Structure 1
Amino acid sequence: MAAPGPPAGVRPQTLLLTFLGKAVLGRDIAVFSGSYLAVMERLGISEQATRSTLTRMVNHGLLARHRRGRKMYFGLTPQAQAVLAEGEHRLWRAGAVNRDPDGRWTLLGFSLPESRRDERHLLRSRLRWAGFGLLRSGMWIAPGRVDVSALLPDGQLRDHVQVFYAEPAEPAAVGQMVRDAYDLSAIAGRYQQFLRRWDTPRPLPAAPDDLARQLWLVSEWLLIVRDDPRIPLRHLPPNWPAVTAEEIFRHRHNQLNPRVQRILDQVVDAVEVSAAG
């Protein structure tokens, strides 16, 4: 039985990375191409889409090919290990709920001429990815102390950006500042949608097995938390849905884990490879 369709934004590469994080990260192994096909078929992804995604990930430096006789295996590159390690950190250590009592914020302003419109668009995308919200024209804010240097690899771009770390003069006004800079309804809506899917007695009943359920679960959750600016909980509306959603995510993941491991032992054909590739 085919799995239900993916939540919006969950692409085949996202699902493959989730599988790699589960089955390969931290182990010096490469996985047979047929195992990838078998896993992705459970998720309703066609053989053609899986093969093209594997090829694209090789071309982008995320996977390395390892031939053993007539069989082709794919293992992680250092670049992929770094991407997956960052995802693991966001999932299990940073989490969705920010209870940090630190009252500092990062303020960022930039000004780029019309002739550099593409760079301006790229910078805005990077800022939103890093948790910044647009407070007003030219001023962006993010909770905590953000290392902005990683967002500005272009030295010329740095010349047009000013960064400050500060605390609000009127702490009581932070709630309004947050509502002005972020679309809280949209953020809450994604957690509420997650809860509708997973906070049920039997989530995804059409999924073929618990491996498919767990890969859907982790992929969907990671996309949500990566887009969440992690505003401190004390500045958010009461009963913020991320709190319950994170509890459900961890409960479902742990609940599925024993059966998932047994399935992986059956479907994953792997060979050892050196850490250097």
Structure 2
Amino acid sequence: MSSEDALRPQSLLLSFLGDHVLGRDVCVYSGSVIEVFARAGVGEQATRSTLARMVQRGLLRKQREGRRMYFGLTERCEDVLRDGERRVWHVGAVNREWDGSWTLLGFSLPESWQRQRHDLRARLTWSGFGPLFSGVWIAPGVVDVTALVAELGLGAHVKVFRAHADDGTDIDAMVEETWGLAHVAAAYEEFGARWEERGGQPPDDAGDALALRLTLQTDWLRIIRRDPRLPVKHLPDDWPAERAEKTFRAVHERLSPLAASGAERLIDLVPVRDEPGQA
């Protein structure tokens, strides 16, 4: 199975919502999601299950229009999508603005809190942290984790510090041990090779172009989720992130005109209604 095949339906759905719903005060018809996802290789049942789970998790809200069910964003989902939008379009894959500081986070959770530990580690990884020691994680620069910790309800179990490395600390060795740069680099190389081949010639069908662009964006977000955006001075000279980012942007631009036509044809949107007792 390729990396593309392994993309999770929820990841695809978040990319879809970020593209077509975020910032527009609209809800999207479930049938539109099902049709686009079918073109991306995701079955109807998996799509419906993903929509239902995201409603249960407080990420989506339902709005009925006649016999059709539409889905809109909750405030929590908007926060998630805006963070992803910032990482994809504004931050960039290479960190050239590091001020020499580090954020240290220590946590101690009861052994029985396996879910909370998993959720905390996942969120820390997305925020650029890596495990320095058992229960101590580190990220370059100043990272505000206040909202993250509060959302998980772990304020009493987490301590955060700002730090600078001592002159005798081998930062390059620490970076390699903490983040395993070879794996991050390989992911960028594989992404570049995959999309240079796949994105060279857009599909003829607008709907297929829309699905392919969705897959591209989801694949790129999956790659940068693994990347802590380490300071460029502590990365190898041939670091592949910038090349991969150029490939992403070039293929996205190539697909977008036809994908926009596909979106206009396939995606049914309605304005958000705020009504008491709405499902």
Residue 144 of structure 2 aligns with which residue? 147
Looking at structure 2, the residues matched to 83 and 156 of structure 1 have their Cα atoms a distance apart, in angstroms, of 17
Equivalent of 2:171, from 167, 170, 174? 174
Cα drift, residue 163 of structure 1: 3.0
Alignment RMSD = 2.9
Residue 243 of structure 2 aligns with which residue? 244
TM-score in terms of structure 2 length: 0.85
Are 2:214 and 1:227 equivalent residues in the alignment? no
Q: CA distance change for structure 1 residues 163 and 223 in 2, over 3 Å: closer, same or farther?
A: same
Residue 265 of structure 1 aligns with which residue? 264
Residue 54 of structure 2 aligns with which residue? 57
Equivalent of 1:32, from 29, 33, 38? 29
Matched residue type, 1:229 = P
Are 2:92 and 1:87 equivalent residues in the alignment? no
**Residue pair 1:28, 1:274 contacting (<8 A) in 2 also:** no
Matched residue type, 1:235 = H
> What per-residue deviation string (whole Å, max 9, x for no partner) do you get for residues 68-88 of structure 1?
222222222222222211111
Q: CA distance change for structure 1 residues 256 and 172 in 2, over 3 Å: closer, same or farther?
A: farther
**Residue pair 2:60, 2:77 contacting (<8 A) in 1 also:** yes
Looking at structure 2, the residues matched to 242 and 155 of structure 1 have their Cα atoms a distance apart, in angstroms, of 31
Residue 162 of structure 2 aligns with which residue? 165
Deviates more, 1:50-59 or 1:230-239: 50-59
Cα drift, residue 169 of structure 1: 2.5
| Matched pairs, number | 274
Aligned-partner SS, 1:153: helix
Matched residue type, 1:200 = E
Cα drift, residue 206 of structure 1: 8.2
Structure 1, unaligned stretches of length 5 or more?
none
Matched residue type, 1:34 = G
**Residue pair 1:30, 1:272 contacting (<8 A) in 2 also:** yes
Structure 2, unaligned stretches of length 5 or more?
none
Looking at structure 1, the residues matched to 102 and 240 of structure 2 have their Cα atoms a distance apart, in angstroms, of 23
Aligned-partner SS, 2:62: strand
Identity of aligned residues (%): 49
Deviates more, 1:190-199 or 1:54-63: 54-63
TM-score in terms of structure 1 length: 0.86
